[in-house]
Amino acid sequence: EQKEVPVGAVIVYKNSIIGKGFNQVEMLKDPTAHAEMIAISAAAAFLESKWLKDCTLYVTMEPCPMCAGAIILSRIPKLVFGCYDPKMGSTGTLYTITEDKRLNHSVHTIGGVMDDVSGNLLKEFFKGKRKV
């Protein structure tokens, strides 16, 4: 039985996946080990650059503030996510970090893609956690 929140992320560059990740917070005992952070690190290593300017990040759930900040810092121009996150969503639900004009970069964001599929996956996970 997996204890991780079921969130996955991939980064695409020129039609190829160059970075991928899944939540590993529990496994690594690391609060920063979110799917997006792991995918960003992998993509930066692949490109040998901290800038991911020509990439798109796809992720199961709307990024949290930490991940939204990393998306800004890595200069990812496009973000596509599945379900909205009413508790930590930082690309439109609670905050709009990725479009904050005070920052030096903004991200074209498309949310709610396959929202029902992603949302149901997370609902089932948390329903199972509450039974334990």
Q: What is the pLDDT of residues 14-67, one digit of tens each?
A: 999 999 999 999 999 999 999 999 999 999 999 999 999 999 999 999 999 999
Q: Which residues contact 98 (CB under 8 A, 6 or more apart)?
A: 63, 68, 71, 72, 79, 90, 91, 106, 107, 109
Whether residue 36 lies in the annotated active site: yes
- The catalytic residue among 1, 4, 26, 36 is 36
- Specify whether domain 8-131 bears CATH 3.40.140.10: yes
Say if residues 80 and 55 touch (Cβ distance below 8 Å).
Answer: no
Residue 3 has pLDDT above 90, yes or no: no
Strand blocks (E) in 1-132: 8-13, 16-22, 55-61, 78-83, 108-110
Residue 1 has pLDDT above 60, yes or no: no
Residue 2 has pLDDT above 70, yes or no: no
Say if residues 98 and 109 touch (Cβ distance below 8 Å).
Answer: yes
Residue 109 binned pLDDT confidence (cut-offs 50, 70, 90): very high
Say if residues 36 and 61 touch (Cβ distance below 8 Å).
Answer: no
Residue 110 has pLDDT above 90, yes or no: yes
Helix (H, G, I), strand (E, B) or coil at 74: coil
Question: Would you state the pLDDT for residue 132?
Answer: 53
